Amino acid sequence: MAGQAGLIGALIGFVVGLIEYRLVTGVVVASLRRTDNSQTQAEKDDYERRIRLLKAAVLVVSVGGLPIVGYLIGRALFG
């Protein structure tokens, strides 16, 4: 039963992480694109590269980190 509590917590953390990723990246990327002052194509490409890096970082933290937190909470509370 202790293992199940952790796995259920990890699953919940994963789902919450996916939802958080979609919400955060949607809002932040839309705001960043609105404030883009790129003059040349090279600047535009660099700006888009930075947006991709930001999205990757948010993905790692939310989808990678929240299942771990969910697992630990599940084990601590119910395991």
Question: Residue 67: how many CB atoms within 10 A of its CB?
Answer: 20
pTM, 2 dp: 0.81
DSSP helix/strand/coil, 37: coil
**What is the per-residue pLDDT across 35-52, written as a single tens digit (0 to 9) for each?**
999 999 999 999 999 999
Domain edges within the chain: 2-78
Q: Over 70: is that where the pLDDT of 2 sits?
A: no
**What is the per-residue pLDDT across 69-78, written as a single tens digit (0 to 9) for each?**
999 999 999 8
Q: Over 70: is that where the pLDDT of 1 sits?
A: no
Q: Over 90: is that where the pLDDT of 55 sits?
A: yes
Confidence of residue 3 (pLDDT cuts 50, 70, 90): confident
Report the distance separating Cα 52 and Cα 62, nearest Å. 15
